[in-house]
Every structure is written in C-alpha cells, then in structure tokens.
Amino acid sequence: MDKKYKILIATGGTGGHIYPAIALAKQYEKDGNEVIIVGTGNEVEEKIFKSQDLKVRYFQSKIKDYPTYKKLFMSFKVDKAVRDFVRETKPDLILGMGGYASSEVCRAGDRGSCVIIHEQNSVAGRVNRLLLFLSATAAIQGLPGSFSKLDRLFMRFSDDLKFLGNPIRNEILNINKNSLKEENAEELRVFIMGGSQGARSINMITPNALAALNRSINIKVVHDTGDHDYEEVKESYRRLGIDAKVSKFNGNVESAYSWADLFIGRAGAMTVSELSAIGLPSILIPFPYAMDNHQFYNARFLEEKGGAVIIDDKNLTSEHLADVIKEVSEDRKILKKMSESAFDVRFIHATENIVDFTYQVIKKFKLMGNHYPM
C-alpha cells in the first residue's frame, strides 16, 4: 500500500474484543500506519495491554453499570471528551470491535472518518446492529450470518458486508492440529476450559464424566477452572484418580491446544475461531444465558461442519458427557475426521484479509468524497 493511514481501534472490555484488536493493530503498524487503540481502562484491558507495545488511550465507560435497555439508549450519546479526542485525531479509519464501549468512538468521528465495524459472534450484538445503519461504512463478520436480513435492510451500504473471520494470535496460528496422529491411540488428552464466567456446570460435571471413562481409556487432563472452583475441581480429580493438571488460569492456552486431542468448553466467538484455525475437535456447551443465545449459534458453525458436538447446558450430566466423549474418541478415525472438518483456512488469514478489506473501503470512501451511498 502507498498511503499510510491514521487508525483508531475501539474495543470493549473483554478478551474477546481485545485480542482481535491487538492482532489487527500489529498488522496495521507493520504496514506503516499510525494506530491507537481506544479502551475503557478496566482491569482486564490494563493487564493485557501492559504487555503490548501499542499506543492505547482510555476513556472510562459511563454506561457500563446501566441495565441493557438503558445502555442501548445511552449509546446514542457521545461523551464530549471522546468526541474531542476523535475529532482532534482526525482518523482515516475508526474500526469498532463491538460492545457498548466501542459505540461512542464509532459515532464520534466526523464525515472525514470511515467507520467499519467488526462483529465476532454468529449473532450480532445490539450495538453493532445499531451502528450498522447509523454510522458504519462497512461491516465484517467474524462468523457467518451475524447480521439478519432485517439488519441488512437498514444498512447504509450495499456490498461491503463480508465474512472474513476473527483475527487469531500468531502463537495459536503456529499450531497445526489438522494432522492428528494415531500414535497415542491408547491415550486421550482432554483440555477443559471451564474458567470463563458462567462455566461452573462444566467444572463440576466433567471430572465425574472422565472418571467413568478412565477405566477403559487412559485419560490425561488439562483443566482451566477459574478462581472459584479451583480447589473443588482439583480435589475431585485427586479423589477420582485421574491424571489432571488443574490451574485457575492457563496463561499458555496455545500449549494446551497443541497438546490436546479434544477440547471441552463454552462457545465464545474467539474459542470457536481458534478451534477452527487449528482444527481441534470439540464438545461445546454454550453458555445458556448469553445475549440472544449467540454461543449456541457460534457452536452451530462448527457442529454443522462436523468439527464439534453440542451439548445443551440443561442436558449436561456426567453420564451424557461421558457417552459423547466415548462416541467421538472410541475410534481414533472419528477424532481425525472431526479435526479435518473443524479446520478452516479462512481463520488462518483473517487478520491480513480484514486489514486488506479495510484499505479497500477507505480508498472507496475517499474516492466518493467521504459520502457513501445511503
């Protein structure tokens, strides 16, 4: 590319928004652009961004403690400090990564700023649906089908709505599970991610399910529990006699992915995207209280290809989970087939494809005199 751009990336306060923003920011900087990530300064953001050599500007969200209906109403307002910062910066591109925290930045630009939104989930969040027809010049879907036909009816543009995937960290992209070997046919290595909010049912039920199978299969376990269930889960594995490495938080998730034959956990957008990028077979138990049941639809993306099995949280028992694990692992060829089905090359190149797409949109935006057709 010839032209260098000034880019703001507006991100929400969760890892699902932050890590894709980091991957994109690094690619933009590699291309010679000036990039500033705009966040809320919450504990999660500060912890993650502290380890990154990136420009970050924080504006504390004034709507984070409001109920959902009020947050949506408040999204129409833009704080003066945010508006002044955005207009003084004069970005060529504002890239919104979703969530209420990003909405103010996306709406603060003047007509000289191209606004593109990125939706991670299979069902678009309320803010991104609002921005689709209020501010956005283009939209990117991290998983297909994010925006409904009704959403598309009111969008401000006709052809710039693309499924390009969710950006994946390089540490994970370097894993290749799509070549599952059969040399460990007598051993099943299971990675359980129960550490995210709302995963207590997974933490409590999985040890007993694995114990029921451990009599016939040599099972090894890595289990990320989160803070609250750590001691109880660790004691369960000890009592049941299962070889398990239990931790509150796995700071090296790429190592666990690389080691595992099977993943068990929730179905957040980034989890589904990472499983797709490396081709790791999975049993997914969507969080039942996720907004618009979006985790179920995220999981469906993998299930429909044959790369995952979905268990509804209400149907999650140790007996049922044990039956599903046995079904997918009894014949090693089933796991290998699931691995091949889960793998999706689009996630390998998602970062580069998203960045290239945004360059195309910026050029079109500027050629049209900063006025996209309504």
Q: Which two tokens stand for residue 331?
A: 């014949």
Q: Are residues 231 and 298 in the same domain?
A: yes
| Confidence band of 373 (pLDDT split at 50, 70, 90) | very low
Task: Assess whether 339 and 223 both reside in one domain.
Answer: yes
| pLDDT tier, 374 (very low <50, low <70, confident <90, very high otherwise) | very low
Same domain, 91 and 240: no
Question: Domain residues for 238?
Answer: 173-345
Residue 140: partners with Cβ closer than 8 Å, 6 or more residues away? 116, 117, 118, 119, 161, 162, 163, 164, 354, 357
CATH code, domain with 26: 3.40.50.2000
Q: Could you give the number of structural domains in the chain?
A: 2
Q: Single out the residue of 169, 175, 143 nearest to residue 48, CA to CA.
A: 169
Q: Give the pLDDT of residue 49.
A: 78
Residue 197 and residue 159 share a domain: no
pTM of the model: 0.90
3-state secondary structure of 118: strand
The answer on pLDDT for 334 being more than 70 is yes
133-142, 272-281, 330-339: range with lowest mean pLDDT: 133-142
235-269: burial string, b at 16+ Cβ within 10 Å, e else: ebbeeeebebebbeebeebbebbbebbbbbbbbbb
From CA 197, how far away is CA 188, in angstroms rounded?
Answer: 27
Q: How many CA atoms lie within 13 A of 172 on its CB side?
A: 30
Is the domain of 284 the same as that of 312?
yes
Q: Provide the 8-state DSSP code for 226.
A: -
CB 359 within 8 A of CB 1: yes
What are φ and ψ of residue 308, in 5° steps? -150, 160
189/333 same-domain check: yes
- Is 374 part of any domain? no
Least confident of 100-109, 212-221, 321-330, 353-362: 100-109
Antiparallel, parallel or unpaired: β 161-163 and 138-141: parallel
Mean pLDDT over 273-300 rounds to 94
In a domain, 78, yes or no: yes
Phi and psi (nearest 5°) for 252? -130, 60
DSSP, res 273 = H
* Residue 372 forms part of a structural domain: no
In the chain, the largest separation of any two C-alpha atoms, in whole Å, equals 69
Q: How far is CA 366 from the centre of its chain?
A: 31
Q: Minimum mean pLDDT among 175-184, 263-272, 345-354: which range? A: 175-184
98 shares its domain with 233: no
In a domain, 271, yes or no: yes
Residue 1: inside a domain? no
Asked if 307 and 354 sit in the same domain, the reply is no
Q: Average pLDDT of 19-29?
A: 93
Q: What is the mean pLDDT of residues 299-318?
A: 97
Closest CA to 166 of 310, 40, 23: 23
Q: The tokens 């994109």 sit on which residue? A: 24
Cite the DSSP H helix spans in 214-250: 230-240
In this prediction, residues 274-278 reach a mean pLDDT of 95
Helix (H) or strand (E) holding 25: helix 15-30
Residue 212 lies in a domain: yes
